[in-house]
Structure 1
Amino acid sequence: MALPWQPEPLPRSEALLYAALPAYREHGLARFGPDGAVYSADALPVLERCRRTPLHADDLWVLASPKCGTHWTAEMAWLIQHDCDFAGAQSYLAPDRTHFLDAAAIMSPGWRQAAQQQGSDAVCRRLLQPIDGRPRPRLVNTHLPLSLCPPGLLDTCKVIYVARNPKDACVSYYKMLMSDSTLSPETTIEDFVTLYTEGKMVCLPFFPNVLQAWRQRQHPNMLFLTFEEMKRDLRAVIERTAEFLGKKLAAEELDRLQHHLSFESMRENKWVNKEDRIKGQKGADGERLSFMRKGQTGDWKNHLSDETSQKMDRWMEENLRGTGLTFVAEAPQQ
């Protein structure tokens, strides 16, 4: 299925963008779809393949903007969907138990080629495998906005969308990209906030992504969650998700799943946190590599200046006006 929109290349004059992302300098980045989602400039065939993903009523999709709780939510959803099969969960969440739909679109051509090579990391190679060979029921996770997902998705499949306050999401995205050396070491948090709020970063812009899902929150096949409510009352979110998926969990299963999904437990879970792959490595910023970093509400205060915080406040106010959506930006005082 061809995309009904032509990609719009992000020109080389976007000096801040290409200074921040060395791996994309040769082949470039482009905007795709009605909201201008940013992916590798050569990603059109990949996104067209994503759009024609076959849909089945027993499929479950987890959608989110980057660093908003995709892995956390997918781990919860997989275990509920598979009747709390904790033994079966002893393998990588992505790509073994979930299908990361737009992984190839996110990768630069160089990374994609390296991942496809016979001698490269097996996990990276599996990220690029087509969905057709995966057993059902399938759990699909993606950073694509609904507009780039297969038409009819919500009318066919259950969809869980997880949102997070964009200040924490932005800081966490910056830390991840800096730690895995995707970002140039010279890129400051202020530079990144500029790119983030302008929607000039891979998998962005943020607000078109989240608001498309928010407008569909009453659809019977949509469950709209937030990272902050998972932090505040995880058990209640587990129970809501189980009800949404038509599952009934015993009290013992709820207890065990709540413990398993606590952020402290998730951060030590090598199958989610990729711990046995990164093996204590440190990134370009000197921090120990960890996919699950802090998972805090309000950590942005430790990284954003007053001026940068106010800049994000104005951006959030402008985009949220009239939508009815609000974000919790700070953890409540105990």
Structure 2
Amino acid sequence: MEIVDVEKNLNEELISYFRGMKDGFVQVGDKKWFYPKKYRQLAEAFKGFEVRSDDIWITGYPRSGTTLTEEIAWLLSHDLDFEETRRVGVHKRVRFFEGSLVINEKSMQEILSKFPGEVSAFQSMLNTLDELKNRKDRRVIKTHLPFELLPKDLLTKGCKVIYICRNPKDVSVSHFHLQSSARHIKFCGNFPKYWEYFRNGNCMFGPYFEHVRQGYEKIGSKNFMFAFYEDFKKDRRAYISDLSHFLEFPISEEQLDKLEEYMDIENFRKVARVPMKDENNQTISFIRNGKVGGWRDHFTEEMINDADEWIQMNIEKIGIRYPQQEG
């Protein structure tokens, strides 16, 4: 699949806004998947990764509900070991497949020159694929790569694959906050500027709707489940029950009670402990408020009209129906 540099002027502009991505960006294939230039080095390793038949893969565009879903999946597949979840953060139990892709070595060295004690955190991200290959226990793996860039036998090897989808306006707001605060990305623009990049596919892991389309068209495939984040917010218990059924890990009503309580967003924010830090090495919350409809605090009337037109055009093409927004 062809990998080309983003056009020079646009690339320079993007580097000035995404200050942690010092080497710029590439676009991949005819869908123009948007990634740091480092993708060139990693594409073959991602595509050729050996899938195991007992893997559980959590897929979806960033900030769509993958983190909470991976936690549920890990607990269901590990006998509801709440003690282990409190002892070991979800980021260590469930590995981010392409974690090394989002770490720019130049930015990493700048951070380590100020905070040398952070070397292990970066090494953990850079060594993700090797660690996954060496894992002996059942793997739960999170990825934001689209299906055409993932291992070719992902849906034929027998493993379970879940795709999480969320309203794009909420996704864009959540991704904006994460990429603005995360030290390894450091987006320095305002939300309208970020929305421009997100909408046009010039944002890491975009374009959004092509990503969703490749998930939505897999509905009906064996061992594949498509879920909406909004359904989790509407009925957490039903969402967990559906995952339990799909993953073939039946649980009792008492166990369901405990898992439902554990996955309350306020509790989950405290126990997830995903180690995200800002440029001053201060810990930031990876789990935000999880609100449905929070986009209303960020969009102007003009942006809403633009977004709604863009969304309507794409959902008609795909045939997808998003759950009714709350709030």
Does the alignment reach a TM-score above 0.5? Answer: yes
Residue of structure 2 in register with 1:128 after alignment: 126
Query: How well do the aligned residues superpose, as a CA RMSD in angstroms?
Result: 2.4
List gaps (5 residues or longer) in structure 1. none
2:50 matches 1:47: no
The answer to whether the Cα contact below 8 Å between 1:21 and 1:183 also exists between their aligned partners in 2 is yes
TM-score (norm 2): 0.90
Match of 1:13, SS state, is: helix
The answer to whether the Cα contact below 8 Å between 1:16 and 1:191 also exists between their aligned partners in 2 is no
Tell me by how many angstroms 1:55 deviates: 1.1
The answer to whether the Cα contact below 8 Å between 1:58 and 1:138 also exists between their aligned partners in 2 is yes
What whole-Å deviation, never above 9, does each CA across 1:276-326 have from its counterpart, x for those lacking one? x65xx7989xx9821111100000001111111111111111211142212
Whichever residue aligns with residue 141 of structure 2, its letter is V
TM-score (norm 1): 0.88
Residue of structure 2 in register with 1:79 after alignment: 75
What whole-Å deviation, never above 9, does each CA across 1:205-231 have from its counterpart, x for those lacking one? 111111101000111211111110000
The structure richer in helix per residue is 2
Give the total of aligned pairs.
Answer: 318
List gaps (5 residues or longer) in structure 2. none
Alignment CA distance shift 1:114-1:242 (3 Å): farther
2:182 matches 1:180: yes
Residue of structure 2 in register with 1:267 after alignment: 269
Find the aligned partners of 1:33 and 1:100 in 2 and give their Cα distance.
23
Find the aligned partners of 1:33 and 1:99 in 2 and give their Cα distance.
26
Corresponding residue to 2:300 among 302, 305, 311: 305
Match of 1:61, SS state, is: strand
Corresponding residue to 2:321 among 321, 326, 331: 326
Residue of structure 2 in register with 1:315 after alignment: 310
2:252 matches 1:238: no
Whichever residue aligns with residue 230 of structure 2, its letter is E
The answer to whether the Cα contact below 8 Å between 2:33 and 2:207 also exists between their aligned partners in 1 is yes
Find the aligned partners of 1:115 and 1:234 in 2 and give their Cα distance.
39
The answer to whether the Cα contact below 8 Å between 2:72 and 2:240 also exists between their aligned partners in 1 is yes
Q: How does 1:90-239 map to 2 (within 5 A)?
A: 90-94=87-91, 96-111=92-107, 120-129=118-127, 130=130, 131-156=132-157, 157-181=159-183, 182-185=185-188, 187-239=189-241
What whole-Å deviation, never above 9, does each CA across 1:204-258 have from its counterpart, x for those lacking one? 1111111101000111211111110000011111111111111110111101100
Residue of structure 2 in register with 1:20 after alignment: 17
What whole-Å deviation, never above 9, does each CA across 1:162-201 have from its counterpart, x for those lacking one? 010000000011011112253343x111111100000101
Instruction: State the identity as a percent.
Output: 25
Tell me by how many angstroms 1:43 deviates: 1.7
Q: Which moved more, 1:293-302 or 1:314-323?
A: 314-323
Corresponding residue to 2:5 among 3, 9, 13: 9
Alignment CA distance shift 1:237-1:138 (3 Å): same
Match of 1:162, SS state, is: strand
Find the aligned partners of 2:141 and 2:109 in 1 and give their Cα distance.
23
Tell me by how many angstroms 1:39 deviates: 1.4
